[in-house]
Amino acid sequence: MRLVMCWLLSCAALSAGNTQAHDIPLDSGIGADSEPSGALSDRLQRMDERLIQLAARLESLTHTVDTQLAQLDNSVLQLYRELGSGRLTEAAAELRGVLQEARAAPADPELVSTLSQEIRQSEQLLQAQLNDTQQRLVTLLEEGRPAAAAAGASPATTTVIVERCSFPDQFQRTDEWRPADCAAVQQRHQRSGVYTIYPPVCGNGGGIRVYCDMDTDGGGWTVLLRRADLPDHQDFDLGWDSYKWGFGNLSAEFWLGNEYMNLLTSMDQMQLRVDLKDWENNSVSSTYTPFSVGSEQQKYVLKVGKYEGKTGDALTSLSNGAKFSTKDQDNDTWSKKCAVEYQNAWWHKSCMHTTLTGPYVPKTMKKHWIGITWHQWKGNKYSLKQAELKMRPVNYMTWCHKLANEGARE
């Protein structure tokens, strides 16, 4: 943006002070021999004023463009910044705007034509650079991110959700609506899907990409974990850092991230919901109120309150107060390393009881000693077809009903 403005202002200065400037070469027919110098000076002065107006027009577009850029996925923005091309699309759009303004301007046709040609050449160069950057982006995504490969995850099915819950300063949102969680998102969006939320605890306008369930029991749920019967399965036998920041595909199987669970449960009192389905398509659910996950210093300790539902209470005695364990960080109280022995990171007190992060076992092997298990419903040797963990504020229904009542009164 600043580069384009400086270029325009430089053009204006050069045209006023040196009719032979090569940045915007004047046609030989527009010189001192073709008309009086006073008339030429007036025409150049008008063009100077027009260029300044165009620069002001470009400045007025900055807020809109930056707001749109801020809504891009954080990982893509980071990659574009690393490749030095994060502003190419913006610059190309601005140049097209300048071209349209120049064509509409009541100025010297030949000078406008020359200016238009310069702009087209600059736009073509920027577009070529953008195309090259996009191709490099596609290549990198196809090869898989190094962090995912280092964690032992499959590049074909693993996507690092975000590295930190903050956008670079130049990409921060500036509009007023900044939903803190999926319950707030539902004020404007009633369809389940991937959204960006802006928890105040992130600071600096930071955002987190999450999947919002707007269909289950009134909606407003932020999904923390999903296991499902899909053609390709996400590997969950990963290390501490992977579980810290999250992994997987938000539209398929994923773990949101212990760090984000801690952030979201620290800003409000939350309720945890568990949804399970067996291979006969029987479904059960339950809730724990309240629910929280501690900080990394606390080893992401799990705290759950009152149980209600039909899954059977598999967390109060087996996981409440337990620290999180992964294959490279054993925090359970058992003599064995549960996360290693049974390939499942979890809030373990003891092994082989309840975990939703074990290997996905197909229907033909549903009775297995490892898998996706919920001991109090199907026992510890039945691997489930589908499982989800999700949360929303404890006061959500009260708040939702309040909005409905206010709308009815209006």
Model pLDDT for residues 302-338, shown as the tens digit of each residue = 999 999 999 999 898 888 889 999 999 988 887 778 8
Residues 6+ apart with CB under 8 A from 128: none
Residues 6+ apart with CB under 8 A from 305: 288, 289, 290, 291
* Banded pLDDT at 355 (limits 50, 70, 90): confident
Q: What average pLDDT does the segment 180-195 reach? A: 92
* Banded pLDDT at 167 (limits 50, 70, 90): very low
> Which pLDDT score is estimated for 131?
54
Highest mean pLDDT among 10-24, 88-102, 171-185, 205-219: 205-219
> Which pLDDT score is estimated for 41?
64
- How many helices and strands (H and E) does the chain possess? 13, 9
> Which pLDDT score is estimated for 318?
82
Is the Cβ–Cβ distance between 143 and 158 less than 8 Å? no
Highest mean pLDDT among 139-148, 178-187, 252-261: 252-261
> Which pLDDT score is estimated for 162?
37
- Specify the residue for token string 């090259």: 132
* Banded pLDDT at 126 (limits 50, 70, 90): low
Examine the pLDDT at 222 and tell me if it is beyond 60: yes
Q: Which residues pair with 244 in a beta bridge?
A: none
Share of the chain above pLDDT 90, in %: 35
Q: Is residue 9 classed exposed, middle or buried when 0-12, 13-18 and 19+ CB atoms within 10 A define those classes?
A: middle
Query: Pick the residue with more confidence: 115 or 71?
Result: 115
Examine the pLDDT at 255 and tell me if it is beyond 90: yes
> Which pLDDT score is estimated for 206?
76
Is the Cβ–Cβ distance between 319 and 331 less than 8 Å? no
Token pair belonging to 47 = 């063009």
- Specify the residue for token string 């007025």: 60
Which CATH class name applies to 159-398?
alpha beta
Q: Which of 52-56, 247-251, 267-271, 342-346 has the weakest average pLDDT?
A: 52-56
Is the Cβ–Cβ distance between 254 and 242 less than 8 Å? no
Q: Which residues pair with 213 in a beta bridge?
A: 221
Residues 6+ apart with CB under 8 A from 42: none
Radius of gyration of the chain (CA): 29
Q: How many CA atoms lie within 13 A of 74 on its CB side?
A: 23
Separation between Cα atoms, residue 323 and residue 293, nearest integer Å? 9
Q: Which of 159-168, 248-257, 275-284 has the weakest average pLDDT?
A: 159-168
> Which pLDDT score is estimated for 30?
35
Q: Is residue 46 classed exposed, middle or buried when 0-12, 13-18 and 19+ CB atoms within 10 A define those classes?
A: middle
Separation between Cα atoms, residue 248 and residue 148, nearest integer Å? 10
Angle at 190 between CA 186 and CA 192, to 5 degrees: 100
DSSP H or E segment with residue 254: strand 254-255
Examine the pLDDT at 244 and tell me if it is beyond 70: yes
Examine the pLDDT at 288 and tell me if it is beyond 80: yes
Computed over every residue of the chain, the mean pLDDT equals 72
Handedness of CA 196, 198, 199, 204 (dihedral sign): positive
> Which pLDDT score is estimated for 227?
97
Q: What average pLDDT does the segment 6-12 reach? A: 41
> Which pLDDT score is estimated for 58?
59
Query: Pick the residue with more confidence: 308 or 370?
Result: 308
Sequence ranges of the domains in the chain: 2-143, 159-398
Q: Give 132-166 pLDDT, tens digit per residue.
A: 554 554 444 444 444 433 434 333 333 333 334 54
> Which pLDDT score is estimated for 13?
40
> Which pLDDT score is estimated for 317?
80
Q: What average pLDDT does the segment 218-238 reach? A: 95
> Which pLDDT score is estimated for 399?
58
- What is the end-to-end Cα distance of the chain in Å, rounded? 45
Residue (of 349, 274, 264) closest to 313 by Cα position: 274
> Which pLDDT score is estimated for 357?
94
Report helix, strand and coil shares of the chain as percent, to nearest 5. 40, 15, 40
Does a cis peptide bond (omega within 30 degrees of 0) precede residue 290? yes
> Which pLDDT score is estimated for 187?
86
Local structure of residue 324 (DSSP, 8 states): P
The b-or-e profile of 139-168 (16+ CB within 10 A means b, else e) is eeeeebbeebeebebeeebbbbbbeebbbe
Cβ atoms < 10 Å from Cβ of 317: 13
Q: What average pLDDT does the segment 8-18 reach? A: 41
Separation between Cα atoms, residue 179 and residue 243, nearest integer Å? 24
